Amino acid sequence: MLDPDKDGVINAYEYRLGMLPNCKDSDGDGIPDGIEFVDLDKNGKIDLADLGIFAEHWKEGQCYRCPGADFTGNGTVGIEDLLELSSRWLMN
Ligand SMILES: [Ca+2]
Ligand SMILES: [Ca+2]
Ligand SMILES: [Ca+2]
Ligand SMILES: [Ca+2]
């Protein structure tokens, strides 16, 4: 699991999301990639609103169009994505 810029987003995810594997803040807006990665409402914080959006996508289950909520990119929204979200919650 390579993460050379130590932003909490592994290279495989950085490439998939168009982020930079050697930059903690790929788009330079001051919000680290590790937060943006799971910040579903794009307000710069990981909070209950993001969890709410995530839960809505989870109910859809097997979906290939859950925008942003399939953090691991495996085509479904589930427990592994929740782990990605929860592990970043305290990074705020
Ligand atoms: Ca990284
Ligand atoms: Ca990065
Ligand atoms: Ca950023
Ligand atoms: Ca948010």
Does any domain span residue 2? no
Ligand nearest to the CA of 1: 1
Does any domain span residue 1? no
Does any domain span residue 16? yes
Does any domain span residue 73? yes
CA 81: distance to chain centroid?
A: 8
C-alpha span between 76 and 60 (Å, rounded): 9
Does any domain span residue 3? no
SS3 of residue 61 by DSSP: coil
pTM assigned to the model? 0.84
Does any domain span residue 59? yes
C-alpha span between 23 and 80 (Å, rounded): 24
Q: What domain range includes position 58?
A: 11-89
User: In total, how many domains does the chain have?
Assistant: 1
pLDDT tens column, 35-92? 999 999 999 999 999 999 999 888 876 666 566 899 998 888 999 999 999 998 876 6
A 10 A CB-CB count for 73 gives 11
Q: Are 82 and 28 in contact (CB under 8 A)?
A: no
Q: How far is the CA of 22 from the centre of ligand 4 (A)?
A: 24
Does any domain span residue 71? yes
